């Protein structure tokens, strides 16, 4: 099975994060791998979440806590991605040697998508339902999870979306609503069940909440400490994540 196009493009434009895979393979520890890659511990976790979310299967298998801040190893697909990255490094060196004008390389860099959205979920278009000037796009994530995005019909055409198209769903952390596991779903909203993996307290402002979905993908949400306390949401607790389809942005390869 070939690697998804979106993941392959990510490998090409985010070499430091992909290099983290090599350090994990060598070190067997997220803490030591982050140090070797020149990343903070938090940045390393963010990179792993992003890579796992974009892949068809998790690239990194990890365990929280323990000696060295948690063990980690590459899955079979992670090892395959690492081999691809190593081949791309060789090709990159050849391209740089052959480049006639470095400004062309700068232009290519600007054309590659980078986004501030914390949540980037790989999926495929399952169906498209027209609603006036808008379309409701049903996306199939890994392991059969479904979310919906509402975009204009013009955007559907511009992105050339059709059943089977690979996309990345972009959702800002602040757009996710956290609820107790038994909360009724708001009509028309997406609802994903998950388990709180970790709550990172901020010195001021909302906490960052990492949520593991049943398919292994990870969401990052923001919540005020008082809200988490009122809902009795702590590490390891199940919860619901709800969000409007209109807050799901879609991206496709250039």
CATH number of the domain within which 35 lies:
1.10.10.10
Tokens standing for residue 10: 């990510």
Both 180 and 207 in one domain: the answer is: yes
Q: Are residues 81 and 67 in the same domain?
A: yes
User: Which pTM value belongs to this model?
Assistant: 0.67
Instruction: Place 189 in a pLDDT band, splitting at 50, 70 and 90.
Output: very high
154 and 81 in a single domain? The answer is no
The answer to whether residues 161 and 233 belong to one domain is no
pLDDT at 5 over 60: no
If asked whether residues 15 and 84 sit together in one domain, one would say: yes
Mean predicted confidence (pLDDT) in 206-227: 94
CATH code of residue 212: 2.40.50.100
Distance CA 199, CA 194 (A): 14
Query: pLDDT value at position 30?
Result: 86
The pLDDT assigned to 55 comes to 81
pLDDT value for 111: 47
Judgement on whether residues 11 and 81 belong to the same structural domain of the protein: yes
- 149 shares its domain with 201: no
E runs forming strands in the chain: 60-62, 72-74, 119-131, 134-140, 146-152, 166-171, 177-179, 190-200, 207-212, 218-223, 238-243, 249-251
Separation CA 234–CA 198 (nearest Å): 8
> Above pLDDT 70, what percent of the chain?
78
50/65 same-domain check:
yes
> Is residue 61's pLDDT more than 80?
yes
Please tell me whether residues 123 and 141 are part of one structural domain. Answer: yes
- 98 and 136 fall within a common domain: no
Question: What is the tens place of the pLDDT at every residue in 17-28?
Answer: 778 888 899 988
Residue 110 has what pLDDT?
46
Q: Which one of 82, 111, 140 terminates a domain?
A: 111
Could you tell me the residue range of the domain that residue 127 belongs to? Answer: 119-171+247-251
Q: Which of 39-53, 107-121, 154-168, 237-251 has the lowest mean pLDDT?
A: 107-121
Q: Based on the domain organization, do 51 and 136 belong to the same domain?
A: no
Report the C-alpha gap between 21 and 4 in whole angstroms.
Answer: 17
Domain count, the chain: 3
Tell whether the model's pLDDT for residue 138 goes beyond 80: yes
Residue 51: pLDDT band with limits 50, 70, 90: confident
Write down the mean pLDDT value for the chain. Answer: 83
Do 163 and 232 lie in one domain? The reply is no
Residues 6+ apart with CB under 8 A from 77: 55, 56, 57, 58, 59
List, in order, residues 6 or more apart from 2 with CB less than 8 Å away.
none
Average pLDDT on 57-78 reads 74
Dist. CA 59–CA 57, nearest whole Å: 6
């Amino acid at each position: 099975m070939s690697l998804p196009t979106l993941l392959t493009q990510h490998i090409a434009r985010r070499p430091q994060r992909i290099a983290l895979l090599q350090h994990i393979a060598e070190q067997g520890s997220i803490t030591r791998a982050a140090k070797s890659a020149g990343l903070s511990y938090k940045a390393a976790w963010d990179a792993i979440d992003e890579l796992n979310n974009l892949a068809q299967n998790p690239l990194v298998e990890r365990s929280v806590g323990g000696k060295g801040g948690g063990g980690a190893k590459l899955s079979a697909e992670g090892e395959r991605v690492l081999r691809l990255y190593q081949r791309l490094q060789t090709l990159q060196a050849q391209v740089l040697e052959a480049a006639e004008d470095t400004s062309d390389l700068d232009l290519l860099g600007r054309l590659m998508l980078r986004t501030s959205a914390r949540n980037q979920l790989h999926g495929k278009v399952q169906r498209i339902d027209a609603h006036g000037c808008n379309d409701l796009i049903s996306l199939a994530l890994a392991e059969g999870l479904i979310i919906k995005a509402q975009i204009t019909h013009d955007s559907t055409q511009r992105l050339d979306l059709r059943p089977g198209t690979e996309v990345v769903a972009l959702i800002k952390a602040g757009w996710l609503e956290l609820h107790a596991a038994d909360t009724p779903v708001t009509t028309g909203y997406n609802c994903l069940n998950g388990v709180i993996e970790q709550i990172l307290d901020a010195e001021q402002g909302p906490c960052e909440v990492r949520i593991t979905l049943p398919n292994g993908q990870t969401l990052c949400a923001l919540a005020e400490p008082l809200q988490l306390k009122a809902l009795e949401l702590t590490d390891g607790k199940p919860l619901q994540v709800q969000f409007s389809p209109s807050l799901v942005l879609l991206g496709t390869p250039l």
